[in-house]
Amino acid sequence: MGAIALNRRQEELVAYVRREGFVSVEALAEHFEVTPQTIRRDLAVLCDSGLLRRYHGGVSLPSSVENLAYAARRGLQQREKQRIATLLARHIPDEASLFINLGTTNEDVARALLGHKGLRVITNNLNVAIMLSDNPTFEVIVAGGVVRGRDHGVTGEATIELIRQFKVDYGVIGISGIDADGTLLDFDYQEVRVAQAIIEHSRQVYLAADHSKLGRNALVRLGPISRVSAWFTDRAPAPELAKVLSEAGTQIFVASAAGEGVPDA
């Protein structure tokens, strides 16, 4: 199954349900100023793809213990992810060493890095490895372990042991959720352990995560955002989270719709 192409209203509908928790069809129709029939058609697409879950009288988010399907995640926030990736890639110099872990945004980061020269990349993402191997100046090392069929990610003890053999310039990580207090959250315990190893063995840690990850509930705690050197996103955070970032010493770079990226004050 390929990536699901969502229109702008459908993307905003998912984000709205994430903020509200549970929303009726009538409330969605009123909020988006369309007919209930239009909302029902949107919900049919979003629920069939696993992005939302139907309940009597409305919709809510899927379970907090299980992530969205890979194809569904690829279809969400596509333009935002590409802008984030382009901005982050500009902060990686040629001839650098880096980890890149799992996540659809990180795959966009890998694509944005293809114009670089002389990178040395260690990854547990087979999609990233295949993509970056097209650049003959790159050296790409794939971490061993158990391959997940759903997204071609590699996890397990062998993955962590390979990562621990290196100390790289940059660790590029993704995340499933960011709590209001700056806690980084994910769904997969094994994936979190790999990300923690990457953080420990990187001189700088770059987080690539769009605004839809804010407030998203996930089961496994990766750690505080203070472990991240810089967060690349598409919208400035709320003042409360901005204060947490400032106190943590984590820089934030916002990729605007115009394609420019600036540090957020």
209 and 248 co-located in one domain: yes
| Separation of alpha carbons 28 and 17, rounded Å | 9
Say whether pLDDT at 241 is over 80.
yes
Does any domain span residue 3?
A: no
> Are 129 and 247 in the same domain?
yes
Domain identity same for 128 and 180: yes
- Region 142-155: mean pLDDT is 89
Q: Are residues 123 and 226 in the same domain?
A: yes
Q: Residue 94 — left, alpha, or beta (φ > 0 → left; ψ -120 to 50 → alpha)?
A: beta
The more confident residue out of 160 and 262 is 160
Same domain for 109 and 153, yes or no, is yes
Is there a single domain that holds both residue 105 and residue 215? yes
The answer to whether the beta carbons of residues 13 and 46 sit under 8 Å apart is yes
What would the two tokens of residue 58 be?
């409305």
Round to whole Å and give the CA distance between 26 and 35.
Answer: 9
Mean model confidence pLDDT for the chain: 88
Better-scored residue on pLDDT, 12 or 137: 137
pLDDT at 74 over 70: no
pLDDT score recorded for residue 187 = 87
Phi, psi (rounded to 5 degrees) for 210: -80, 175
Share of the chain above pLDDT 70, in %: 89
Same domain (yes/no): 106, 58: no
Number of domains comprising the chain: 2
Residue with structure tokens 């100390």?
167
Give the residue with greater pLDDT, 16 vs 122: 122
Q: Please tell me the least confidently modeled range out of 68-72, 79-83, 175-179, 205-209.
A: 68-72
pLDDT of residue 262: 53
Distance between CA atoms of residues 123 and 31, nearest Å: 42
Query: What CATH code is carried by the domain that includes residue 169?
Result: 3.40.50.1360
160 and 39 in one domain? no
Q: What is the predicted pLDDT for the residue at 54?
A: 85
pLDDT value for 88: 98
Are residues 201 and 151 located together in one domain of the fold?
Answer: yes
Q: Are 153 and 102 members of one domain?
A: yes
Residues 241 and 127 reside in one and the same domain? yes
Sorting pLDDT into bands at 50, 70 and 90, what band is 15?
Answer: confident
User: Would 2 be classed as within a structural domain?
Assistant: no
**For the segment 107-141, what is each residue's pLDDT rounded down to a tens digit?**
999 999 999 999 999 999 999 999 999 999 999 99
User: Can you give the chain as a three-state secondary structure string?
Assistant: CCCCCCCHHHHHHHHHHHHHCEEEHHHHHHHHCCCHHHHHHHHHHHHHCCCCEEECCEEECCCCCCCCCHHHHHHCCHHHHHHHHHHHHCCCCCCCEEEECCCHHHHHHHHHHHHCCCCEEEECEHHHHHHHCCCCCCEEEECCCEECCCCCEEECHHHHHHHCCCCEEEEEECCCEECCCCEEEECCHHHHHHHHHHHHCEEEEEEECCHHHECCCCCEEEEEHHHCCEEEECCCCCHHHHHHHHHHCCEEEEECCCCCEEECC
The pLDDT of 198-223, averaged and rounded, is: 90
- The answer to the question of residue 171 being in a domain is yes
At 217 the pLDDT is 74
**What percent of the chain is modeled with pLDDT above 90?**
64
Residue type, 94: D
Let me know: does 142 contact 124? Beta carbons within 8 Å: yes
d(CA 72, CA 46) in angstroms, rounded, equals 9
Average pLDDT over residues 83-107: 96
In a domain, 34, yes or no: yes
More confident site: 151 or 216? 151
What pTM was estimated for this model as a whole?
0.75
The answer to whether residue 153 is domain-embedded is yes
Closest CA to 77 of 3, 2, 11, 122: 11
Q: What is the mean pLDDT of residues 225-249?
A: 95
Q: Is residue 235 part of a domain?
A: yes
218 and 246 inside one domain: yes
The average pLDDT across 63-82 equals 62
Q: How far apart are CA 218 and CA 188, in angstroms?
A: 9
Q: Considering 39, 62, 85, which residue would you say is the last residue of a domain?
A: 62
Question: Cα(235)–Cα(11) distance, rounded to whole angstroms?
Answer: 15
Does 33 fall in a domain?
yes
Q: Which domain holds residue 189?
A: 77-263
Residue 86 maps to a domain: yes
Note the pLDDT tens digit of each residue in 24-36: 999 999 999 999 9
